[in-house]
């Protein structure tokens, strides 16, 4: 199925491996990355492209190693990247939450894996820039919380696409150092999608 829809993306995907079983009681607890830099797999991006129409130009302001821009470009969607630090991708070094951040001309979609500790601020910032669509890869627990519930009621959230299996989201620095493999996840993740002007209830769906 993937080859039929996005033939140019197939060579870009690493082979799927069965997720190992984890005993969470034995797994050492690692300190969080200082920038909350955790890397999504290219497959996580591709799965969203099966169910959401992404219009370019797009921007990933937390591009890291460039997984999202690379996959969108492979699907024929123009995508730019930026990050608070140079992580080896060609994007611009810029702080998305800085009031002086300027959205590149023509950007219609913001699609990213934002740092969870500042996730709501990142989403509010993206919505405030007036783009047509915001897609954020976040833990499913982002739906929880009384204050966040009231924020959701203000509108904009249109769909939540939940991964049917737990996605791997390893720390970027350990991944680059070869100290960890992107296999097996411990948390439930989902793509949260906001659209400008939407005021109805949000809908949910599953990603394979």
**Closest by alpha carbon to 80, among 99, 102, 51?**
102
The confidence score (pLDDT) of residue 11 equals: 55
Q: In whole angstroms, what is the distance from residue 11 CA to residue 97 CA?
A: 34
Q: In whole angstroms, what is the distance from residue 50 CA to residue 88 CA?
A: 28
**Closest by alpha carbon to 198, among 162, 158, 171?**
158
Q: In whole angstroms, what is the distance from residue 155 CA to residue 140 CA?
A: 18
Mean pLDDT rounded to a whole number for the chain: 84
pLDDT, tens digit, 9 for 90 and up, residues 71-129? 999 999 999 999 999 988 888 999 999 999 999 999 999 999 999 889 999 999 999 99
Strands 109-112 and 58-60, how do they pair?
A: parallel
For domain 35-207, the question of CATH label 3.40.50.150 is answered with yes
Q: In whole angstroms, what is the distance from residue 193 CA to residue 41 CA?
A: 18
Q: Report yes or no: 129 and 156 within 8 Å, Cβ to Cβ.
A: no
Q: In whole angstroms, what is the distance from residue 157 CA to residue 197 CA?
A: 10
**Buried-state track 52-68, b at ≥16 Cβ within 10 A, e below 16:** bebebbbbbbbbbbbbb
Helices (H) and strands (E) in the chain, counts: 6, 8
pLDDT, tens digit, 9 for 90 and up, residues 25-49? 444 556 565 567 788 889 999 999 9
Sorted by where each begins, the domain ranges of the chain are: 35-207
Sign of CA dihedral 143, 97, 132, 54: negative
The confidence score (pLDDT) of residue 152 equals: 93
pLDDT band at 15 (very low <50, low <70, confident <90, very high): low
Prior bond of 57 cis (ω within 30°): yes
- pLDDT of residue 176 exceeding 70: no
- pLDDT of residue 160 exceeding 70: yes
């Amino acid at each position: 199925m993937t080859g039929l829809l996005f033939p140019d993306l197939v060579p870009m995907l690493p082979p799927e491996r069965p997720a190992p079983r984890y005993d969470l009681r034995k797994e050492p607890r690692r300190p969080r990355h200082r920038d909350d830099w955790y890397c999504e797999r290219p497959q996580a991006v591709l799965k969203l492209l099966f169910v959401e129409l992404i219009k370019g130009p797009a921007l990933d302001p937390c591009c890291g190693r460039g997984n999202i821009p690379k996959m969108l470009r492979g699907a024929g969607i123009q995508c730019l990247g930026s990050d608070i630090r140079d992580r080896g991708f060609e994007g611009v070094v810029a702080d998305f939450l800085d009031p002086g951040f300027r959205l590149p001309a023509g950007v219609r979609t913001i699609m990213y894996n934002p740092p969870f500790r500042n996730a709501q601020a990142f989403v509010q910032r993206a919505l405030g820039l007036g783009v047509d669509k915001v897609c954020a890869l976040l833990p499913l627990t982002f739906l929880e919380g009384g204050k966040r519930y009231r924020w959701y009621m203000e509108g904009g959230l249109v769909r939540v696409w939940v991964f049917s299996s737990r996605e791997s989201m390893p720390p970027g620095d350990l991944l680059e150092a070869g100290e960890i493999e992107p296999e097996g996840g411990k948390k439930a993740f989902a793509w949260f999608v906001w659209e400008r002007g939407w005021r109805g209830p949000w809908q949910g769906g599953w990603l394979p």
